Amino acid sequence: TQLLEQSPQFLSIQEGENLTVYCNSSSVFSSLQWYRQEPGEGPVLLVTVVTGGEVKKLKRLTFQFGDARKDSSLHITAAQPGDTGLYLCAPRLNYQLIWGAGTKLIIKP
């Protein structure tokens, strides 16, 4: 049974378009982190959400934690080629981080 699911697995869109990626589970988490990983590098933290229903914005990126703290979404407005990368969600369960397989995002100029 997969604990954590990220969707879509892969997304390729044109510059300027909007997109949303999802992180879903049947478990309740105490918090959740989003990381971005670029080719040949390690993941880098984007944001941490803690409270159910919490919304955080980072420039054109909007992160939301589900009301029940079981899921999260990342919305990107007017995507740019610099947004290309692997987006990983990592919720905290029992004091450990659980890692999703990620959404590979490609923004074409």
Partner 1 sequence: NAGVTQTPKFRVLKTGQSMTLLCAQDMNHEYMYWYRQDPGMGLRLIHYSVGEGTTAKGEVPDGYNVSRLKKQNFLLGLESAAPSQTSVYFCASSYPAGGYSNQPQHFGDGTRLSIL
Q: Which residues bind partner 1 (CB under 8 A)?
A: 4, 9, 30-31, 33, 40-45, 48, 50, 88, 90, 92, 95-97, 99-102
Determine phi and psi for 86, rounding to 5 degrees. -100, 120
Nearer to partner 1, 44 or 55 (CB): 44
Task: Report, in Å, the least distance between residue 25 CB and partner 1.
Answer: 13
- Structural contact between residues 63 and 32, judged by C-beta atoms closer than 8 angstroms: no
Task: Strands of 1-109 (E only): list them.
Answer: 4-7, 10-14, 19-25, 31-37, 44-49, 55-58, 61-65, 71-76, 85-93, 96-97, 103-108
Task: Report, in Å, the least distance between residue 55 CB and partner 1.
Answer: 17
Nearer to partner 1, 49 or 78 (CB): 49
Nearer to partner 1, 43 or 66 (CB): 43
